[in-house]
Amino acid sequence: MARMKFICDAERCIECNGCVTACKAENNVPWGVNRRRVVTLNDGVAGEKSISVACMHCSDAPCMAVCPVDCFYRTDEGVVLHDKDVCIGCGYCSYACPFGAPQFPTNGEFGLRGKMDKCTFCAGGPEANGSDAENAKYGRNRLSEGKLPACAEMCSTKALLGGDGDVVADIFRTRVLNRGKGSEVWGWGTAYGKPVQTSMATPTEVKK
Amino acid sequence: MRARAMAGLVGALVGALVLAACGEKPQTLDAKAKGPDAAPWSASASSPFYASDWKGGDKAAWEAQIRTRNQGQNDYAR
């Protein structure tokens, strides 16, 4: 199985915020923390585009690179997670992330930062799968229940796709071919790097 | 004489307090991220939230389950 990835199809997103609500409800995310949010470009102008943004679980995650206490780790499925018992709430990851994914509690005393919180791809944290401790700190571990992230599975227009990178890319490709437009995949180049172009072998090259 | 000794003692105490700030304490990182626990397909205590047609503990079955859920997002395959 390939690594887990998110795709948001800007041609389909209707800015309903269902993904945001699903994430909040599934993971008991408190006020002031938005693991996922919908961003609208050219809001109010004809042809506006909306995209649902959260942690993209980057291949070469900048948050992991800058963390001074090395609290991040990557699972075998390519999900970038962090250990809240090690996080010191410095906020470096927040500055490094191109998607604005790391969240810090903003309610409470002035300047309070607390532990960083972000999308876990519904994969919990370092505590035992499905345990109360994991649920309290990181939210639901849907991957260990044989499910995909709640935001993607609840998306009413299926604009947000989450799961095996190869499969979601295939689903998106089929859509683009059928509708003949909207091939831009927001954030994919930033999160997963540019696709490697394999040179098309000409018949003569094949013979060699 | 006694006052001078007292002043010397107070001076020494103040000096000790001031110099205490110059101490070097180790700043090595002793906490490490725990890293991933069990793989997502590993069987945990029977969860009431398991997908209805999947039971934990089998990697191939978990991957098949994830593929099935992935295709649930594909409206061209319905």
Confidence (pLDDT) at A8? 96
Give B20 or A61, the one with higher predicted confidence. A61
Give the CATH number for residue A117. 3.30.70.20
Q: Cα(A33)–Cα(A117) distance, rounded to whole angstroms? A: 8
Amino acid at site B51: A
Which positions in chain B touch A146 (Cβ < 8 Å)? 50-51, 54, 56, 62, 65-66, 69
Q: Examine the pLDDT at A204 and tell me if it is beyond 50.
A: no
Determine, for residues A73 and B67 on separate chains, whether the beta-carbon distance falls below 8 Å.
no
Per the structure, how many domains does chain A have?
1
Boundaries of domain holding A179: 4-207
Confidence (pLDDT) at B57? 82
Confidence label for A197 from pLDDT (cuts 50, 70 and 90): low
Q: Examine the pLDDT at B1 and tell me if it is beyond 80.
A: no
* N residues, chain A: 208
**Paired tokens of A34:** 């938005």
Average pLDDT over residues A188-206: 67
Confidence (pLDDT) at A208? 41
Determine, for residues B33 and A72 on separate chains, whether the beta-carbon distance falls below 8 Å.
yes
Confidence (pLDDT) at B5? 84
- Residue A128, classified by CB atoms within 10 Å of its CB into exposed (0-12), middle (13-18) or buried (19+), is middle
A157 part of contact set with chain B, CB < 8 Å: no
Which positions in chain B touch A82 (Cβ < 8 Å)? 33
Confidence (pLDDT) at A109? 56
Q: Taking a contact as any Cβ pair under 8 Å apart, which residues of chain A between 88 and 117 contact chain B?
A: none
Angle (deg, nearest 10), helices A165-179 and B59-71:
20
A42 part of contact set with chain B, CB < 8 Å: no
Residue of chain B nearest A88, judged by CA positions: B31
Confidence (pLDDT) at A203? 47
Q: Cα(A85)–Cα(B21) distance, rounded to whole angstroms? A: 29
Q: Cα(B78)–Cα(B75) distance, rounded to whole angstroms? A: 5
**Paired tokens of A57:** 């679980």
CA A6, A119, A19, A14 dihedral sign is negative
Q: Examine the pLDDT at A202 and tell me if it is beyond 70.
A: no
Amino acid at site A120: T
Determine, for residues B70 and A77 on separate chains, whether the beta-carbon distance falls below 8 Å.
no
In this complex, the residue of B42, B70, B76 whose CB is nearest that of residue A164 is: B70
Secondary element (H or E) of residue A74: strand A72-74
A183 part of contact set with chain B, CB < 8 Å: no
Confidence (pLDDT) at A191? 92
Determine, for residues B40 and A144 on separate chains, whether the beta-carbon distance falls below 8 Å.
yes
Confidence label for B46 from pLDDT (cuts 50, 70 and 90): low
Which positions in chain A touch B39 (Cβ < 8 Å)? 76
**Paired tokens of A1:** 């199985």
Q: Cα(A137)–Cα(A128) distance, rounded to whole angstroms? A: 12
Determine, for residues A147 and B51 on separate chains, whether the beta-carbon distance falls below 8 Å.
yes
A69 part of contact set with chain B, CB < 8 Å: yes
In this complex, the residue of B47, B69, B76 whose CB is nearest that of residue A174 is: B76
Q: Cα(A74)–Cα(A78) distance, rounded to whole angstroms? A: 6
Model pLDDT for residues A104-146, shown as the tens digit of each residue? 876 655 555 688 999 999 999 999 888 899 999 999 999 999 9
Is A158:A8 a contact under the CB 8 Å cutoff?
Answer: no
3-state DSSP assignment of residue A80: strand
A127 part of contact set with chain B, CB < 8 Å: yes
Confidence (pLDDT) at A205? 46
Pairing verdict, β A80-82 and A72-74: antiparallel
Q: Examine the pLDDT at B20 and tell me if it is beyond 90.
A: no
Confidence (pLDDT) at A78? 95
Q: Examine the pLDDT at A206 and tell me if it is beyond 80.
A: no
Residue of chain B nearest A174, judged by CA positions: B76
CA A160, A164, A165, A166 dihedral sign is negative
Confidence (pLDDT) at A207? 43
Model pLDDT for residues A48-102, shown as the tens digit of each residue? 999 999 999 999 999 999 999 999 999 999 999 999 999 988 999 999 999 999 9
Place of tokens 């969240």: A103
Confidence label for A36 from pLDDT (cuts 50, 70 and 90): very high
Model pLDDT for residues A13-34, shown as the tens digit of each residue? 999 999 999 999 999 998 888 9
Is A126:A18 a contact under the CB 8 Å cutoff?
Answer: no
| Best to test chain A binding among B42, B50, B70, B71 (most A CBs inside 10 Å) | B70
Q: Cα(A18)–Cα(A14) distance, rounded to whole angstroms? A: 10
Q: Cα(A79)–Cα(A190) distance, rounded to whole angstroms? A: 16
